Amino acid sequence: MKILSIETSCDETAVSIVEAEGGIESPSFKILGNALFSQVNRHREYGGVYPMLAKREHIKNLPPLLASVLKQAGMDKTKRPDIDIIGVTSGPGLEPALWVGISFAENLAKLWDIPVVPINHMEGHICSVLINETNEFSISNFQFSNRIQFPALALLISGGHTELVSMKDWGKYEVIGQTCDDAVGEAFDKVARMLGLPYPGGPEISKLAEYARENNLPRVAKLPRPMIHSDNFNFSFSGLKTAVLYYIRDKFNKDHTKMSFEEKADLAREFEDAVVDVLLHKTERVILETNTKTLIVAGGVIANKKIRQTFTELVEKYPDLILKIPTNSLATDNSLMIAAATYFNVILNPKILDEQTKIIANGNLRL
């Protein structure tokens, strides 16, 4: 099955053409074309994603990205391409941005007479772990094959979400824990802003924290681990962010420019450690209380080195537990994960191909 996938939920415009086979049991995907344009440089001056700018950028970027993937796949853009289905992210995300991808997908579907299906971005993040990139630059050589043992547990950590999802099977998801306020990536970005670091703040905080660890800087800053011992699987990161704000207010008179590089690095390390402690503790509790066979950790924040390392170490303690983490480029938003999710949606419910109804963007779409 050849799939054209489109992702425009936030500030990454992405289009892929993927050939999928093997069904649910042993899915295998071959990447025929893949193109992504990150708008981060455009949004940096706003200190975060500016939805109307994201919308305009997606409108501008989609046609050349489509032309690029068709070319990579050796398909003639003047003819109906050899594509069986189009998958497009319909939520969650920024609605003005989502609508651009949906309209684009529906226009192509009409033009080429190909069915189009809506895809949940979070299911896309889960599916990102099925993609095994061997060589990012040699697209035609991409081949990957994978299988998830159920029951599985997915920890989804991104700019908009922090969720623990119990998975009985593909398509059978139950959110058993989530953030009560800020998402973990959002907290990274807000703390970075408090330290005068550019958007997106996650990688910046991570670099500072690594410096503090490598140079064994004295541990001065102390932050709370919100909700770590609460008797549920929910999270809260806004209190942690406020604790950082108070630390800068009380110690540096609200002015991050009064902080030395080392003081910022110490605070970044403590913040990262606090996030890691909470994520690890809650996830391990679910593992202990259930018979989880596979742990999936996905979403942009798993690009974080310390978090990747922590979960790798956790799984070493449980010999029967398999860990699935996407590569860094598949951790942050992309359209390959949307192609993989499209495949599962079609395999599980082939009727969706006949039930072509107008797709609606839903910024708050749930799993």
Tell me which residues touch ligand KG4 (CB under 6 A): 10, 158-160, 185, 188-189, 200-203, 206, 299-301, 303-304, 332-333
Cα angle, residue 115 at apex, residues 112 and 119 outer, rounded to 5°? 125
Structure tokens that stand for 61 in this block:
């970027």
Q: Which is nearer to Zn ion, 35 or 122 (CB)?
A: 122
Q: Which is nearer to Zn ion, 226 or 326 (CB)?
A: 326
Mark the segment that binds Zn ion (CB under 5 A) among 127-135, 150-158, 267-275, 348-356. Answer: 150-158
Residues 298-357 that bind Zn ion (CB under 5 A): 333
Question: Reading across the β-sheet that carries 144-145, which strands appear in turn?
Answer: 116-120, 85-91, 2-7, 12-21, 28-38, 144-145
DSSP code string of 277-343:
HHHHHHHHHHHHHS---EEEEESGGGG-HHHHHHHHHHHHT-TT-EEE---HHHHSS-SHHHHHHHH
With a CB cutoff of 8 Å and minimum separation 6, the contacts of 51 are 94, 95, 96, 97
- For 344, the 3-state DSSP assignment is helix
Q: Which is nearer to ligand KG4, 32 or 130 (CB)?
A: 130
Q: Cβ of residue 105: shortest distance to ligand KG4, in angstroms?
A: 19
Q: Which is nearer to ligand KG4, 30 or 42 (CB)?
A: 42
Q: Cβ of residue 16: shortest distance to Zn ion, in angstroms?
A: 15
Q: Cβ of residue 331: shortest distance to ligand KG4, in angstroms?
A: 7
Residue 158 contacts Zn ion per CB under 5 A: yes
Residues near Zn ion (CB under 5 A), total: 2
- Bridge partners (DSSP) listed for residue 187: none
Q: Cβ of residue 173: shortest distance to ligand KG4, in angstroms?
A: 17
Residue 204 contacts Zn ion per CB under 5 A: no
What does 294 interact with, of Zn ion, ligand KG4, none (CB < 5 to 8 A by kind)? none
Structure tokens that stand for 77 in this block:
């853009």
321 exposed, middle or buried (CB, 10 Å; 0-12, 13-18, 19+)?
A: middle
Q: Cβ of residue 140: shortest distance to ligand KG4, in angstroms?
A: 26
**Residue linked to tokens 């704000």:** 245
Residues contributing to the site for Zn ion (CB under 5 A): 158, 333
